[in-house]
Chains A and B, each alone.
Chain A
Amino acid sequence: MNPFSFLHVEYLLQAAVWTVVLSLVAFAFGGVAGFVIALWRVSPNRLLRNIASGYIQVVQGIPLLVILFVAYFGLAIAGFKLTPLVAAGISFAIYCAAFLGEIWRGCIQAVPKTQWEASECLGFNRYEQLTKVILPQAIKIATPPTVGFMVQIVKNTSLASVIGFVDLSRAGQIINNSTFQPFTVFGCVALIYFCLCFPLSALSKHFERKLNVSNR
């Protein structure tokens, strides 16, 4: 039984880097997919709308852990052996796309209808409406909840530990199994997560306040 020491903290911090990497990957891929989903959700094309809506409803009704298991264990048995990192990345991207798509859809719809009407009457086509008028406004509205969701992303990366990926949580489990000091070890892990997440939460609140003031 080893005492918990600075070496362990170092190990945790190194693992935390992977947590950040995984979060960024999830946000990048999930963000791109989520953007497409959001646009499809507000599309005049009924098929696209329904596909996007169905996707969101299904993914939001399944635990992330189950998606991870399907991606890692499920696909492995079927012949697609993915590394934990890739499986986690794909699962998180799928999950984030659904939630970000829903958030961003709300933000697009929060832009007043009059903006659509005004730009249409000026002769813009749908693409120009979106890029020049609607999306710039939607992005402003979307900033607080998007930054808020990044907190969820960081926390969700902890599930990658379940399929063996050595992120911050897995590192904590490994250390706990040799030091048997769960309060100290997981307390430290929680603290590192807190240091990653709290600034994002605070930033989100800051953006929200700014948005409410400017909308007065």
Chain B
Amino acid sequence: MSAIVKIKDLHKSFGTNKVLNGVSLDVQKGQMVAIIGKSGSGKSTLLRCLNGLEKVDAGDINVCGHDIHHPDRLNLRELRKQVGIVFQSYNLFPHLTVERNITLALTTIKKMSTEEARKIAHKVLQLVGLENKKEAYPEQLSGGQAQRVAIARSLAMAPELMLFDEVTSALDPELTAEVLKVMEDLARGGMTMVLVTHEMAFARKLADVLVFMHQGQVWEVGPPDELFSNPKTAELQKFVSSDL
């Protein structure tokens, strides 16, 4: 079994604030890993280290064969072609149509022809159920639609690993379901996914591994059912019960 992500004893601080305090974690190909925990536990920072958005202070971190802890040798652009990320605030390009949002990276980075790029855009838009919106502009979409386009945009680059940073936290409850459905389809299709989320039911149902973070460390890790029904630590117990 090949580990797409290998993290060993990761440390990171923002100034005097120690955000990651010795995190170790492996993610296998095809797994969905859900990271949960209180705000400030370091979840988003950990995620953002995985594609080089945050620099690490100490520790080993290897993603898709790239050593992220050696920034001078790291080819960030190559890494990012293999790792896709979806943000909480979707960050679609407002001045471009949905289709162009997706084809932009394909034509400029992968040097595809417009024809090829459009074909791929159509395919990924079908996957997220929005092929009829390809001429629309982001301001004309609902939050859920925009987030699905953001997922499609990352998918178009055919990544090996997809990261999701609290992608439903900014959405109204009715719109959350359509995004979660897309993520579920992705998981069932075999995509390796790491997500930071507050959607406990979703994580419980679909994640292979649940990671509970607390004070910058991996407090507990294991299959979701086990963690939810038998939390070993008081912190996870409190976290789980406060959610119910």
A and B in contact, CB less than 8 Å: no
Q: Which residues of A contact B (CB under 8 A)?
A: none
